[in-house]
Chain A
Amino acid sequence: MAPTVPSAPEPVIAARDVHTRVGADVVHAGVTLDVHRGRIFALAGPSGCGKTLLLREVLALHVPDSGSIRVLGREVVGIGHEEALELRRRCGVVFERGALFSSLTVAENVSLPLRERSRLGRRVRDELAAMKIALVGLPASAGLKYPSQLSGGMRRRAALARAIALDPELLLLDEPSAGLDPSSGREFEELVRHLNDVLGLTVFVVTRDLGLLWNLADHVAFLAGGQIVAAGTMAEVSRSDAPVVRAYFPGTRGGPAGARR
């Protein structure tokens, strides 16, 4: 989407004092963060700290117990069913396992949202799908294949093509590099960076991948113990004195030296 209001002052995602409990466990104990338009924001943190849950809360797929989350100018806590659908239409998501529809080909996967959400003719929809497939760097022949016939990296790309099918304003990625080899992971990073550049997409990425944190993220927040314990550029976060962050990035203080892939 072209930056129609380039100087919009409001953050794309603004979470304030979010508290979430799952069963008896307190997962979020006052999470506050801002994601600004056109930036790549990475949420890091140890396993099970509630990163993916926060991503689901941004999409109104899970309701926090208290606090406020504004996404694209709209409060999602207590949002109605219709508004939630409307909001999700403006967001593209790639879940950790890709979650492509296994009984549809890649091209059908990508054109499904186009069919449901636009009133374009079939041929134009097919062309748009082919364009999105090319945009994520997949060969045209991949469009005719089923997800089970693709490698992990290609499947991730196909999921990304589906996520950007409707030109979302906000792209949410859950562990995009999990299960990819370093070179595919790096290619995927470049792809996200490219989309961020050309489409002006705001990207919210949940990750544990150090390479991605160093190379891709404009802004990093570290979630641990239910709170954001460090935030800033990756260099700033890595200099944090918080013990959890120190344990997470041993020996990478101020630079990617030891952590670089």
Chain B
Amino acid sequence: MDLPGSPRIRVEDGAVRCSGSWTIHRVGRVERALRRLTWPEGVALVVDASAVGTMDTAGAWLLERTARRLERSGRPVTLRFRPEHEALLGIVTSSGVVAAPPRPRERAPFLSTLGRWAWSSARDAVRLVTFLGEIGVAAARARTGPLRVRSRQVLEHVQTAGFEALPTAALLSFFIGIVLAFQGSTLLRPFGAGILVADLVGLAMVRELSPILTALIVAGRSGSAYAAQLGAMKMSGEIDSLRAVGLSPSEVLVLPRIAALVLVVPLLTVAADVLGVAGAMLVARSELAMSSGEFLGRVAREIHASSYLLGVCKAPVFGAIVAVVGCYQGLQVADDADSVGRRTTGAVVQSMFFVVLADAFVLVVSRQLGI
């Protein structure tokens, strides 16, 4: 089906005739027709484009490259253009382009990918350690004193990373408490040990789940946000202008965020402890007919202060990990939009990795010490 003005090319009376409008939006179909075209007999060819209505550089290029290809195979070609299209041919030939430069290989061989990955991971690790050192130096040198870092900014971050995360953290741990208690009670009731649900949920929440869940939420909410904020600041040159006015980005941007998360994660953990146990208590009442007093008494008797403190003491470490990794990833953003996405993902994934690693380490040590 030919629309009016569709570009056409056909062989008539030993000459190649082009007509229609040879513009970028339409020449796609002629390109395909050209590949299938049977060229007329004889050596010299005439390609007559004088019947072409409108033409742009794409149309002119298509004719030019066809002519060039035929000439390479030993058939001289005469191109006939309308006078107003001659200029286009001039542009196309004067550009000096014969063929597109080869695209770089899109897929590197496996070994080289592996090597690159290993090398960049190693460099990343070294940079992360360097970054930790810089923060240490910044903290020691901070004009406000190492322990009184920009309280106003810290409080702002406490508000966004802590207070605003409270509903999410509370709700999540409440439901985790409910789920654990349900699973525990179906497992323990046949043995007449339903009462142990209090120990199970209490210990699991207080020692492990609350700090980990809180760190997970904070990494997803704030770690990613820090990476994106610092990344955008790096791209727009704000980080450099901070340096230029004699301020250290580590001191002004990174330390307040670390301080905020170190403060906030333990507080959220305590809230998660309370809500998790409350969720379990609700289940114990409906499933095991335990009164709240009985349940709480059991929790208070069986869960030692050391377990509780262990959980709460892990929390600031997790907070520091999330903040350090988030800020580090943000400052590694390069000049393209892709790297912001990559680094934000990296902030969450890497901080979770380190949080779990740290947790495993604490577990081993605490078992050795018998806490």
- List chain A positions with a Cβ less than 8 A from chain B: 1-4, 89, 101-103, 107, 114, 117-121, 123-124, 126-132, 134-135, 140-141, 143-144, 146-148, 166-167, 198-199
User: Interface with A: B80-88, B155-163, B196-204, which one?
Assistant: B80-88
Q: A124-B31, A128-B57, A167-B24 are in contact. Are A107 and B336 (CB under 8 A)?
A: no
Q: A126-B100, A146-B336, A199-B91 are in contact. Are A131 and B61 (CB under 8 A)?
A: yes
Q: A2-B85, A102-B338, A103-B338 are in contact. Are A127 and B97 (CB under 8 A)?
A: yes
Q: In the complex, A123 Cα to B54 Cα: how many Å?
A: 23
Q: Report the interface size class on chain B.
A: 35 or more
Cβ contact of B337, chosen from A103, A128, A141, A199, cutoff 8 A? A103
Q: Which residues of B contact A134 (CB under 8 A)?
A: 95-97
Q: Which residues of B contact A3 (CB under 8 A)?
A: 84
Quick check: B335 and A102 within 8 Å, CB to CB? yes
Q: In the complex, A103 Cα to B333 Cα: how many Å?
A: 13
Quick check: A128 and B61 within 8 Å, CB to CB? yes
Q: In the complex, A128 Cα to B92 Cα: how many Å?
A: 9
Quick check: A120 and B28 within 8 Å, CB to CB? yes
Quick check: B338 and A167 within 8 Å, CB to CB? no
The smallest C-beta distance from B19 to any residue of chain A, in angstroms, reads: 15
Q: Closest chain A residue to B82 by CB distance?
A: A2
Q: Closest chain A residue to B60 by CB distance?
A: A2
Q: What is the count of residue pairs linking A and B with beta-carbon distances less than 8 angstroms?
A: 101
Quick check: B28 and A118 within 8 Å, CB to CB? yes
- Residues of B36-57 at the interface with A, using a CB-CB cut-off of 8 Å, are 53-57
The smallest C-beta distance from A113 to any residue of chain B, in angstroms, reads: 9
Q: Closest chain A residue to B35 by CB distance?
A: A121
Q: Which residues of B contact A166 (CB under 8 A)?
A: 24-25
Q: Closest chain A residue to B53 by CB distance?
A: A4
Contact of B65 with A by CB under 8 A: yes
Quick check: A124 and B336 within 8 Å, CB to CB? no
Quick check: A117 and B25 within 8 Å, CB to CB? yes
The smallest C-beta distance from B337 to any residue of chain A, in angstroms, reads: 5
The CB with the most chain A CB atoms within 10 A, among B28, B53, B56, B101, is that of B101
Contact of B364 with A by CB under 8 A: no
Q: Closest chain A residue to B21 by CB distance?
A: A4
The CB with the most chain A CB atoms within 10 A, among B57, B61, B65, B103, is that of B57
Quick check: A131 and B57 within 8 Å, CB to CB? yes
Q: Which residues of A contact B104 (CB under 8 A)?
A: 144
Q: In the complex, A2 Cα to B90 Cα: how many Å?
A: 12
Q: Which residues of A contact B126 (CB under 8 A)?
A: none
Q: Which residues of A contact B84 (CB under 8 A)?
A: 2-3
Contact of B362 with A by CB under 8 A: no
Quick check: A198 and B55 within 8 Å, CB to CB? no
25 A-B pairs with CB atoms under 8 Å apart are A1-B23, A2-B54, A2-B55, A3-B84, A4-B53, A4-B54, A102-B336, A103-B338, A114-B24, A118-B24, A121-B32, A126-B103, A127-B99, A130-B97, A131-B57, A131-B92, A134-B97, A135-B95, A144-B101, A146-B335, A148-B334, A166-B24, A166-B25, A167-B57, A198-B90
